[in-house]
Structure 1
Amino acid sequence: MDALFLTKPPSHLNLSPHLTKLPFSPIFPSHYPFRPKHTHSFLTLSSLQNQHQPPQQTTTEDESYGEVKRIIGSRALNGATGMEYLIEWKDGHTPSWVPSDFIAGDVLADYEAPWWTAAKKADEAAFKSLIEVGDERDVDAVDSDGRTALIFVSGLGSEPCVRLLAEAGANLDHRENSGGLTALHMAAGYVKPGVAKLLLDEGADPEIEDDRGRTPLDLAREILKVTPKGNPMQFGRRIGLEGVVRVLEGAVFEYAEVEEIIEKRGKGENLEYLVRWKDGGANEWVKARFVAEELVRDYEAGLEYAVAEAVVDSRSGDDGKLEFLVKWADLDEPTWEPEDNVDDELIKEFQLSSNNVVSSNQENA
């Protein structure tokens, strides 16, 4: 029978025993992630033709200036190095994309302040209202450190905001520029197991590394290691971190075929099984919670475990119950097995194949 098993997570870095705080900077600045660029809401049209040169100073009456009516869209630059905005002009010119450096601070503030306020407060209603406007606002807009709203709300632990932004198309795997941290790193670092699980359910990649080579699981383990044991003030934090670790462990382990369980050790949460892999990989000790239940049942019952390749026939047994003729990967002869001993997927494949053969015969007749 095909046995599924979970492989171990990728290796992680040695940890410093002197680490006493979160190994990344706080993500909640006291100011909005933009700054005034000009003192008026006019742009030189000539500057838009050569964005590498600053606009020439002139009067607001100069015909080379166009007055901004409003911002109607935004998008992050490649590499999350900044933003540009879609400008609607008062003089009727076709809307155009303009880098933030050429836009007046008050115009930027009117457009960006509601978004970043919602991010800092994890305000689901505000996000929903802004998204429902239906303009070209980029839900992956970045601040000066390349951080997105999703990174903020993940650190704050807001599952409703995370879900809303994910449904709006936010990049779940975006890495901010100051440390390469993703939303999943933030959920791990700020001990938000519910958000971590939600991000994983939405499709976030648990194996993306930050600039120090740490996956979110590595980060959670690192923080757990330096969180004091036996301290009542840290009890809840340790429970939360253990929850994050469990969620992430379950995501980074992959299903793979095993030949058999060889041995076991430990008890309770420390119970592990030594597994022999079908593909010839080195035998490994794996936590019991990641072992396929049917594999464990067979091992505990003292049964020899074999790998089935296919079901080739079926019949009614002496007791009237259905039996299947199973072809084994490591046995020369197929054997008749009761239905309970045969993998459901192999039975379905056999039945589908049998139905196709019957239909083909009927057509030929």
Structure 2
Amino acid sequence: MMEGLLMTKPVSHLNLSPYLNKLPFSPIFPSHLPFRPKHTNHTFLPLSSLHNQQQQQQQPLTDTTTAEDDSYGEVKRIIGSRALNGATGMEYLIEWKDGHTPSWVPSDFIAGDVLAEYESPWWTAAKKADEAAFKSLIELGDERDVDAVDSDGRTALLFVSGLGSEPCVRLLAEAGANLDHRENTGGLTALHMAAGYVKPGVAKLLLDQGADPEIEDSRGKTPLDLAREILKVTPKGNPMQFGRRIGLEGVVRVLEEAVFEYAEVEEIIEKRGKGENLEYLVRWKDGGANEWVKARLVAEDLVRDYEAGLEYAVAEAVVDSRNGDDGKMEYLVKWADLDEPTWEPEDNVDDELIKDFQLRSNNVIAP
């Protein structure tokens, strides 16, 4: 049932406004959504467009001309590829018919039909999210670059992430694809694509594989920022947008959990909302800006203390220890904002402060 709710029309079938049709490729938003990014040409990957090497203006490397050395013979085939630094283009490893040592040649010096024979299967697999085709190409064992780029610096991983193909994403990741690659037109990563095209399953898979959720695009937006931005402009109460909102909420939830998983909260400052919309304004231990965070992402003990009206204090160090009346350990804690230290049960004291105290007490120098 959920799968059915998340299905949307392909981008090529959306009725785009005249303004959006002027963009170099189709954004993800149908014309009836009121989203218009300001002061940016930040757009999204066209799921239907591919890098067409045959349309480039080239000086072909044919059977009678070579890129650098007239002593080379005829081109036999391409046996490898690699993206240039900065994903600005490609070069290819050429096998020569006369037995010359294979050499790397920029794409501009290779005939279009030679390029097409090598590249078309790869980009067709990307366009169709064809796992079997990708697997066959990867298993050839040549020097093909799984991070090959099109004219805008986009890799196959960005295409299949936008299409929502978890099998293809997993296959490319296991083949060594760069999960954090940023394309050149908007600085989008595969996670941005999963967020923009509302693919929560792909977003989670990318995170599980090690993708960085905090990489920003050219507008300074993380994938989480992007998902929240789209959710904000997606109409509520519209049956046509119900599936999209569910999908976007799923993407936001997955990304929030990844972003806040290892962040440590110093204290809760205030709260707002009710039920599923309950949020807490938190202060981070690393000094980052205070931020509203969903209640389910905040540690339960902090929530309990806040709701009980307990005050927070900052502990500087443990200076002594003793057995309490109940037989449990207590520690004398020196506070940053209190003149006198106080005895606290072990459960109220940070483990790292206890460890530091024990090392000092045993005259052990911490590493």
User: How does the TM-score come out when normalised to structure 2?
Assistant: 0.72
Equivalent residue number for residue 178 of structure 2:
171
Equivalent residue number for residue 302 of structure 1:
309
Given the superposition, is the C-alpha separation of residues 306 and 24 from structure 1 closer, same or farther in structure 2, using an over 3 Å criterion?
farther
Give the conservation status (yes or no) of the 8 Å contact 1:309–1:328: yes
Counterpart CA distance in 2 for 1:17 and 1:48 is 22
* 1:241-278 C-alpha deviation (Å, 9 max, x unpaired): 11112233344459666654343332113323344667
Shift of 1:157: 1.3
Counterpart CA distance in 1 for 2:32 and 2:99 is 34
Which region of structure 1 is more displaced relative to structure 2, 153-162 or 226-235? 226-235
Counterpart CA distance in 1 for 2:66 and 2:166 is 49
Which region of structure 1 is more displaced relative to structure 2, 194-203 or 141-150? 194-203
Unaligned runs of 5+ in 2: 60-64
State the SS of the aligned residue for 1:84: strand
Give the conservation status (yes or no) of the 8 Å contact 2:20–2:27: no
Given the superposition, is the C-alpha separation of residues 330 and 132 from structure 1 closer, same or farther in structure 2, using an over 3 Å criterion?
farther
Which region of structure 1 is more displaced relative to structure 2, 196-205 or 35-44? 35-44
Counterpart CA distance in 1 for 2:277 and 2:43 is 64
Give the conservation status (yes or no) of the 8 Å contact 2:26–2:44: no
Counterpart CA distance in 2 for 1:307 and 1:297 is 18
State the SS of the aligned residue for 1:4: helix
Given the superposition, is the C-alpha separation of residues 189 and 329 from structure 1 closer, same or farther in structure 2, using an over 3 Å criterion?
same
Which region of structure 1 is more displaced relative to structure 2, 201-210 or 23-32? 23-32
* 1:175-199 C-alpha deviation (Å, 9 max, x unpaired): 2234332211210111011222232
Shift of 1:285: 4.9
* 1:168-222 C-alpha deviation (Å, 9 max, x unpaired): 3322232223433221121011101122223234343434444445432333233
Given the superposition, is the C-alpha separation of residues 45 and 53 from structure 1 closer, same or farther in structure 2, using an over 3 Å criterion?
farther
Give the conservation status (yes or no) of the 8 Å contact 1:146–1:177: yes
Given the superposition, is the C-alpha separation of residues 284 and 101 from structure 1 closer, same or farther in structure 2, using an over 3 Å criterion?
closer
User: How does the TM-score come out when normalised to structure 1?
Assistant: 0.72
Given the superposition, is the C-alpha separation of residues 266 and 309 from structure 1 closer, same or farther in structure 2, using an over 3 Å criterion?
same
Give the conservation status (yes or no) of the 8 Å contact 1:261–1:274: yes
Shift of 1:27: 9.3
Given the superposition, is the C-alpha separation of residues 32 and 66 from structure 1 closer, same or farther in structure 2, using an over 3 Å criterion?
farther
Which region of structure 1 is more displaced relative to structure 2, 149-158 or 267-276? 267-276
* 1:81-119 C-alpha deviation (Å, 9 max, x unpaired): 321101111211111111223223343233223322322
Sequence identity percentage: 91
Given the superposition, is the C-alpha separation of residues 346 and 157 from structure 1 closer, same or farther in structure 2, using an over 3 Å criterion?
farther
Counterpart CA distance in 2 for 1:226 and 1:112 is 38
* 1:21-69 C-alpha deviation (Å, 9 max, x unpaired): 9996269999999999999999999999999999999799997552122
Unaligned runs of 5+ in 1: 359-365
Which region of structure 1 is more displaced relative to structure 2, 149-158 or 55-64? 55-64
Equivalent residue number for residue 226 of structure 1:
233
Pairs aligned (count): 358
Q: Which structure exhibits the higher relative contact order, with contacts defined as CA atoms closer than 8 Å and separated by 6 or more residues?
A: 1
Which region of structure 1 is more displaced relative to structure 2, 281-290 or 71-80? 281-290
Which region of structure 1 is more displaced relative to structure 2, 216-225 or 281-290? 281-290
Counterpart CA distance in 2 for 1:262 and 1:110 is 61
Given the superposition, is the C-alpha separation of residues 273 and 216 from structure 1 closer, same or farther in structure 2, using an over 3 Å criterion?
closer
Given the superposition, is the C-alpha separation of residues 139 and 320 from structure 1 closer, same or farther in structure 2, using an over 3 Å criterion?
same
Shift of 1:327: 2.7
Which region of structure 1 is more displaced relative to structure 2, 12-21 or 2-11? 2-11
Counterpart CA distance in 2 for 1:3 and 1:306 is 50
Which region of structure 1 is more displaced relative to structure 2, 39-48 or 110-119? 39-48
Which region of structure 1 is more displaced relative to structure 2, 291-300 or 194-203? 194-203
Map residues 1-365 of structure 1 onto 2, 5 A cutoff: 25=26, 64=71, 66-252=73-259, 260-275=267-282, 285-352=292-359, 354=361, 357=364
Which region of structure 1 is more displaced relative to structure 2, 349-358 or 47-56? 47-56
State the SS of the aligned residue for 2:206: helix
Counterpart CA distance in 2 for 1:234 and 1:304 is 44
Give the conservation status (yes or no) of the 8 Å contact 1:33–1:143: no
Shift of 1:340: 1.8
Counterpart CA distance in 1 for 2:226 and 2:44 is 46
State the SS of the aligned residue for 1:356: coil
Give the conservation status (yes or no) of the 8 Å contact 1:5–1:291: no
Shift of 1:342: 2.0
Counterpart CA distance in 2 for 1:313 and 1:328 is 13
